[in-house]
Amino acid sequence: MNNILDADIIKKIHELPALSAVVTELLSSIDHEEIDVDSIATKISHDQALTAKTLRLANSSFYGMQHKINSIQEAIAILGFRSVRTLITTTAITGSFARGHTSRFNFQSFWRHSIATAVCAKQLASHVKANQDYAFTAGLLHDIGKLVLVTRYTEQYEQVMLQRAEQDSYILDAERAILTTDHAAVGKVLTAYWKFPEDMQNAVAHHHDIDQANEGMLTAIVHIADILTHALDLSEDEEALVPVISCSAWDKLRLTQEISAKVFRETEKQFEEICQILIN
């Protein structure tokens, strides 16, 4: 057993590369109505790599535009500032971790599952008339603590992966047995450090234990999206198990077999193109 202390986790997280200044400014704007959109659009445009990938997302079938969007300013005018903020944040997050040297952890599978959960969460949010951009971002972030653990505690996480394989257990149980913490708890610390809104932090922290947490709609959305995308096996991780679904979360989202089938279809339809843009 490797007892990882909270103070050590915080220290490791503070050693991670910071999100870019423009992304930090975008995150700080989430809870503010008044913001200088033109100024932020200009700052985004100065980052050519960020701009290029954001525009590829904006022009994907995910948004179904009838004509090509050629600039950040145009994207904001057509899609809205909130949607463009989500696209830029997504691009920044998926590029924030270098792939570590580990024989067992599959970074490609990790991002495939995270992106699938984000897409599925957006579909579920649309169904319950919740904030779709919030849901997409929370879904993308839900397992982010795994990347902290695998890149900062590589040898210990190798033991976690080995135990999961040998005992055919959930990764969460293997993490708790080996590390005395888990990716959800670490993800909460990271999203707090990155200054994401508190409800997103809670969705990351409690997406596995929603019945105990008594959390709100966003946590329920991420919990269900995580499980549905595991069931669809979009990560292509042969060792991943489908978690047990929370009946209370299912009821909170007022889901039926017909609605879940529609969510399945829409998630599968939009998922691969976004993966091609973000992680290939």
Give DSSP secondary structure letters for the chain. Answer: -----HHHHHHHHHTSPPPPHHHHHHHHTTT-S---HHHHHHHHHT-HHHHHHHHHHHTSTTTT-SS---SHHHHHHHH-HHHHHHHHHHHHHHTSSPPP--SS--HHHHHHHHHHHHHHHHHHHHHTT--HHHHHHHHHHTTTHHHHHHHHSHHHHHHHHHHHHHHT--HHHHHHHHHSS-HHHHHHHHHHHTT--HHHHHHHHHSS-HHHHT--HHHHHHHHHHHHHHHHTTT--TT--PPPPPHHHHHHTT--HHHHHHHHHHHHHHHHHHHHHHH-
pLDDT tens by residue, 235-248: 888 778 888 899 88
**Which pLDDT tens digit goes with each residue over 156-209?**
999 999 999 999 999 999 999 999 899 999 999 999 988 888 999 999 999 998
Confidence at 32, pLDDT banded by 50, 70, 90: low
Mean pLDDT of 101-109: 82
CA distance 231 to 142: 16
Torsion of CA 253, 266, 30, 185, to 10 degrees: 60
Q: How far is CA 200 from the centre of its chain?
A: 10
pLDDT score, position 129: 94
At residue 3, the pLDDT reads: 66
Q: What contacts 125, CB < 8 A, 6 or more positions away?
A: 131, 132, 134, 135, 136, 221
pLDDT level of residue 275 (50, 70, 90 thresholds)? confident
- Rounded Cα distance, 225 and 122, in Å: 9
Residue 227: its pLDDT value, please? Answer: 95
pLDDT of 53 reads 84
Residue 101: predicted pLDDT: 67
List phi, psi (to 5°) of 259: -65, -45
- pLDDT of residue 135 exceeding 60: yes
**In order of start, what are the domains of the chain with their CATH numbers?**
1-16+101-280 (1.10.3210.10), 19-96 (no CATH)
Confidence at 77, pLDDT banded by 50, 70, 90: confident
Angle made by CA atoms 10, 138, 209, in degrees to the nearest 5: 75
pLDDT of res. 202:
93
